[in-house]
Structure 1
Amino acid sequence: MSETRLSSAELPEPSLDEDDRMKPEFVSAVLGHVDDGDTEAARALVEPLHPADIADLFELTPVERRRALAAAISDLLDADVFAEMNEHVREGLIDALDPAQVAEIAAELDTDDAVAIIEDMEEEDQRAVLRALDPDDRAAIEEALSFPEESAGRLMQRDLIAVPEHWTIGNVLDYLRSNEDLTTDFWEIFVVDAQHKPIGTCKLSWILRTPVEIAVADVMAREQTLIPVDMDQEEVALRFQKYALISAAVIDPLGRLVGMITVDDVVHIIQEEAGEDILKLSGAGDGDINEPVLESYKARVRWLIANLGTALVASSIIAIFEGTIAQMVALATLMPIVAGVGGNAGTQTMAVTVRALATNQLTQSNTWRTISREIRIALLNGSTVAVVIGVGVAAVFANPALGMVIAAAMMTNIIIAGLAGVLVPLALDRRDIDPAVSSSVFVTMTTDSMGFLAFLGLATASGITG
């Protein structure tokens, strides 16, 4: 009989705080016992934890002390803990295990979780782990690894229940009761034809409430959402959201049933993709606090270099109007305001557009309506901010003409920012370039450059510096 673990809510104090987060003093106590060589005391503290909380414990432990902790509580490090663990933390611990141990862990996991552990290993280590698996598990994982990264094929589970359409409910119940090798985690049964192509689904509740002599074909739902095996995981998540799915069949290019994806897998993808897009907009890479320093550096520095290049474009515009600025120092004080507010306006529009593209809300059929909407918003925002800044500058500098110039420049830049915020992500998306990665660089360059050009150009043309 398997060991019963306490849930997070049942854990004794002082392990978790009121927000269900592990307390620092608990982490210190566990690590203190490990440092003292008292593994029994450390194990006694960790044993009641849920696998997800044990994974959190490792994430809260300094990198250099994780292996010692793993050695102290090795018998508690089961497959469920590795499945819940942050990928960077997991990779570090997996590297310390021999292939046989990794194979033992992988064999206990669903295929998708096993693939997540093995896919990031070195090729030589992958082969060693695969050789240590039994043939059935090895074949399933090798097939999953043959699919593109972040695709439905990597995400799907192979263990499912499929029955022929000519069976009765009684046949299904007998099959479920007599076959001990079937998966125990499922919400619906897939109905297939002679070519093993899915033709419908039958919920467990329907099977339990239907007389045994009724044919499966008479109660099944023929309408279902099928997931191609090569579909990107983000699109899979969108389908689950749109159609409120609990599980869905995955099909190969010939339309045959090869696996299923369940909502618990998709919840992780939704969270992962949402956070990924936000971090891409900032150029922060994975943004994981457990990511190695060198990897974070490489991900961030390239965008800082790119921003340095675009900043030179804006500075060259300032250089053109050096004479105008020299005649009226107030322009140097005010021009960052025009560029800064325009940049914020562009970022707002860009964030909305990138999200709409990611969630399939923005398509070719409503592109022009979206552009028109953003222009109207930009006009309203520009008018409001222009009046406020114009009146303020006129009063502070006792120069109504300067107030009118900065108001006009602000209005112009906010409208340009609104257009850039929607057009740049759209243009990148049409060229199959991820708009979340590249948009911010181009939008910032546009708002800075056009802000300086509009303000200094209008100031020069109006003659207020003369």
Structure 2
Amino acid sequence: MRADEQDTTGRGPAGHPEQGDPDTHGAGHAHPPHDDSDDERAYGVEPEFVDEIADLLRAGRGEEARALIEPLHAADTADLIERIGPDERAPLIELLRPGFDAEILAHLNHDLREELFGLFEPKELAAAVAELETDDAVDLIEDLDEETRAQILENLPAAERVLVQENLGYEEYTAGRLMQRDLVAVPQFWTVGRTIDYVRAATEELPEDFYDIFVVDPMHRVVGAVPLSRLLRQKRSTRIADLVTEEVDTVPATMGQEEVANLFRHYALVSAPVVDASGRLLGVITVDDVVHIIDEEAEDDLLKLGGVSGDTSVYQRVRETVKSRASWLLVNLFTAFMAAGVISLFEETIQTIVALAVLMPIVASMGGNAGTQTLTVAVRSLATHELSSSNAARVVGKEALVGLLNGLIFAVLVGLIAWGWFGPMIGAVIACAMVINLFVAGLFGVLIPLGLEKLNVDPAVASSVFLTTITDVVGFFAFLGLATAVLL
């Protein structure tokens, strides 16, 4: 039975067989034996292996290539598909088509996966989806166009189709989309012995891997959980109700995936039940799912801070890549004109003292880099809840002080260089401008993401644009304004 039935049991997180087990498909790794002390790479496929498979495919020696690929773990096979050349990719898929392991698709890069879907018939994709856990199946088809998704769903077994459609009914990036629907749940009145006997008898229905047994009441609401380690240490006559961890951390199906990751990180969870508004058990999220969430969130923040919007990867088409980056370049162009406008206010000063034109980029560049350092820390701290309204004032004060101290340090260094290059007065002017700009960079590197967070705007999206504008404008205005006041 499944998560929406009493005494639910089913498949759990996809297991990873022990490496080197000759009887287990996908157990081995592609790379040759190596000494870990000399080679840090302990996973994936080696470049030499990729080249060897490509040469065999080009030579028409498919069976030899198949013999080398068959022992690979699904993740390593996905790595091979990603690394091999575009001309060999289709023949490689054709070679793997008989008995294709659906787990390979789950490990593929999203952009490349969508490209490869065109090589499969809807029935083949449906068969692959049916083999996967619900969360992996949803991840596989959620970004497909409506027609392709409908064709795949139509070819799924009825029970699988209902569960996948229910998950798809939740908003993207929520626990409802991420949860696995197959789990192990037992009623409160069972004993340890009965639970163990049930687990032993229902081997085909149980998850390959599971970490907690969830305990439910007659309404299928979660009343607690029993870790397997605690269950196995008890006598058979012990009641399950006596072993329950009552303070179980349940995850509402509507909770955002970033909050789910923070919950697992904060309480060091291995798994957590997903519940509806009434507390009824719907599914489970396990730590392997959270690893993917953390990776996605970190990647998303990094791309946004770099001004890259939307899904992007090295496999994305040129036109889509240009489109995703051009919008932010347009915004940066507008802010650059704002900085240019400030410079134009001091055109006469620059014409009189040409040395200012030489030194201007130093002030702006140092401010921008210092601000980016602060901004990166602040955005990530907001995402992990290390920075909040309770400690915002202290963090702002700290970063402003750091900016001021760095400004003083580099003011001395740059001032001395400018002194020897263009004279003492210009050295003093650039030193003062350096202090001002680095102080402003540290201050606004925290204030901008905090302000955007208050306005319910993702700080990772817009912070860098605002910060760059501020450090450029303040840097140029401070340097050229001081120069005008002191030197003319």
TM-score by length of 2: 0.91
1:375 to 400, 417, 422: 400
Distance in 1, matches of 2:125 and 2:455, equals 41
Query: Retained in 2: the 8 A contact 1:47–1:76?
Result: no
In the alignment, what sits opposite 1:28? 51
1:19 aligns with 2:46: no
After superposition, residues 142-153 of structure 1 pair within 5 angstroms as 142-153=165-176
Deviations 1:260-311 (A, max 9, x none): 0000111111122112211210113445212222222111111111100000
1:18 CA displacement: 6.0
In the alignment, what sits opposite 1:340? 365
1:162 CA displacement: 0.8
Query: Retained in 2: the 8 A contact 1:42–1:73?
Result: no
1:416 CA displacement: 1.0
Distance in 2, matches of 1:10 and 1:335, equals 52
Distance in 2, matches of 1:336 and 1:205, equals 61
1:10 CA displacement: 7.4
1:425 aligns with 2:425: no
SS in 1 for 2:225: strand
1:42 aligns with 2:65: yes
Give the gaps of 5 or more residues in structure 2. 1-21
2:337 to 287, 306, 312: 312
1:173 aligns with 2:216: no
Query: Retained in 1: the 8 A contact 2:342–2:476?
Result: yes
1:3 CA displacement: 4.3
Distance in 2, matches of 1:6 and 1:261, equals 25
Distance in 2, matches of 1:10 and 1:401, equals 63
Distance in 2, matches of 1:91 and 1:64, equals 17
1:410 to 434, 459, 468: 434
In the alignment, what sits opposite 1:157? 180
- Higher relative CO (CA 8 A, sep ≥ 6), structure 1 or 2? 2
Question: In terms of mean alpha carbon deviation, does 31-40 or 133-142 score higher?
Answer: 31-40
Identity of aligned residues (%): 48
Q: Report the residue type matching 1:365 in the other structure.
A: S
2:218 to 194, 199, 221: 194
1:5 aligns with 2:26: yes
Q: Report the residue type matching 2:65 in the other structure.
A: A
Large movers: runs of 4+ above 6 Å? none
Question: In terms of mean alpha carbon deviation, does 243-252 or 375-384 score higher?
Answer: 375-384
Point out the structure with the larger helix share: 1
In the alignment, what sits opposite 1:329? 354
SS in 1 for 2:226: strand
Question: In terms of mean alpha carbon deviation, does 271-280 or 408-417 score higher?
Answer: 271-280
Distance in 2, matches of 1:435 and 1:65, equals 42
2:253 to 217, 229, 254: 229
Distance in 2, matches of 1:11 and 1:64, equals 25
Distance in 1, matches of 2:168 and 2:68, equals 38
Q: Report the residue type matching 1:425 in the other structure.
A: P
1:128 CA displacement: 1.2
Distance in 2, matches of 1:130 and 1:9, equals 34
Deviations 1:394-447 (A, max 9, x none): 1222x2221111111111111111122111111111111111111111101110
In the alignment, what sits opposite 1:272? 296
- What's the C-alpha RMSD, in Å, of the aligned pairs? 1.8
In the alignment, what sits opposite 2:14? none
SS in 2 for 1:202: strand
Give the gaps of 5 or more residues in structure 1. none
Query: Retained in 2: the 8 A contact 1:162–1:190?
Result: yes
1:6 CA displacement: 3.8
Distance in 1, matches of 2:45 and 2:475, equals 48
SS in 1 for 2:391: helix
Distance in 2, matches of 1:33 and 1:246, equals 43
SS in 2 for 1:364: coil
After superposition, residues 126-141 of structure 1 pair within 5 angstroms as 126-141=149-164
1:90 to 105, 113, 127: 113
Deviations 1:340-384 (A, max 9, x none): 101111101101110111111111111111111111111111111
Deviations 1:102-159 (A, max 9, x none): 1100111000011111111111111111111111100000001011111111111011
Question: In terms of mean alpha carbon deviation, does 79-88 or 329-338 score higher?
Answer: 79-88
Distance in 2, matches of 1:168 and 1:202, equals 12
Distance in 2, matches of 1:227 and 1:35, equals 50
Deviations 1:178-218 (A, max 9, x none): 33423232111001112211111101122211111111111
Distance in 2, matches of 1:126 and 1:239, equals 32
Distance in 2, matches of 1:232 and 1:258, equals 16
1:461 CA displacement: 1.1
After superposition, residues 201-220 of structure 1 pair within 5 angstroms as 201-220=225-244
Sort the Cα spacing of 1:287 and 1:221 in 2 relative to 1 into closer, same or farther, 3 A.
same
Deviations 1:34-54 (A, max 9, x none): 233322122122112221111
Query: Retained in 2: the 8 A contact 1:343–1:447?
Result: yes
Deviations 1:200-250 (A, max 9, x none): 110112221111111111111111111111111111111111111110010
Distance in 2, matches of 1:18 and 1:208, equals 37
1:364 aligns with 2:385: no
Query: Retained in 1: the 8 A contact 2:30–2:45?
Result: no
In the alignment, what sits opposite 1:352? 377
In the alignment, what sits opposite 2:4? none
TM-score by length of 1: 0.95
SS in 2 for 1:220: coil
1:68 CA displacement: 1.8
Distance in 1, matches of 2:157 and 2:281, equals 23
Query: Retained in 1: the 8 A contact 2:25–2:70?
Result: no
1:33 CA displacement: 2.3
Distance in 2, matches of 1:198 and 1:141, equals 22
1:62 aligns with 2:85: yes
Q: Report the residue type matching 1:423 in the other structure.
A: L
Deviations 1:70-91 (A, max 9, x none): 0022235311211211112211
Distance in 2, matches of 1:246 and 1:430, equals 32
